[in-house]
Amino acid sequence: MTDATAANSIATQRRRRTVPFDGEDVLCVPRTTIFPDGAWHGLVTVGLERVLRTIRAASEYRPRHAVEDDPSMQQIIPYCVVHHPLDGTYLLTRRLRRSSERRLHHLYSLGVGGHVNPGDGAGGDPLVGGLQREWAEEVVCSSPATASLVAMLNDDSTPVSQVHLGLVFLVEPAVATTAVRELDKLEGENLTLAAMRRHYLSMESWSQLVFDDLVGGAAKRAERSPLVVELPPAH
């Protein structure tokens, strides 16, 4: 199955439902499908082509309220780690009280992103559409950027992380630095890895895993990424 055919297959799975709460449908994949040999903890940096094929072939949209506490379904999260090549800094954010995910309030995060929704597949690949939408919604960046898939992340250590599966993208703006958009929900600053180390114990568990991977050389893997997405400026 080609990537285009797989993307269209996902798009045809969209269902209209009347559900309580916010009515949001999110892209999920069965845990046993994405982890056929059992779940692991941490980052996987090899075999990402297989991961993409599996998600595109076996994922479906489910009401968010129905899967938010169900580890048997993994909600797919494009997770953008922003690196500024010109000065070597990364965008570090902190969730404020008005952030939608109350379980992560006041914790630091190295990634921005969110769920993939049915409308994200309208132009082709829902993973690409979700990534592009989240980038436009979450940050302000006056130059184009390149997003390269560098890892898949699984973490069963907390209730919120065990129901989500992260696709970690290293996003590098061409020229400009990046700022958070929703200042009532997030605060952010651009720091080197050395400077942000003091916040390590106050980071979300995903961000601790990503931080360790960045120290270990994640940026070098971007050149071998199986999925590269060009992002327009986010004004």
- Enter the CATH code of domain 3-231: 3.90.79.10
Over residues 172-187, the pLDDT tens digits come to 999 988 999 988 888 9
CA distances from 156 to 105, 121, 134 (A): 19, 28, 24
Over residues 74-131, the pLDDT tens digits come to 999 999 999 999 999 999 999 876 545 554 457 899 999 899 999 998 778 999 999 9
Over residues 126-135, the pLDDT tens digits come to 999 999 999 9
User: CA 59 to CA 109: how far, in whole Å?
Assistant: 26
Break the chain into its structural domains and give their ranges.
Answer: 3-231
- Residue 37 one-letter amino acid: D
Residue 21 structure tokens? 């709460």
Question: Whole-model pTM?
Answer: 0.86
Which residues lie closer than 8 Å to 161 by C-beta, 6 or more apart?
155, 204, 205, 206
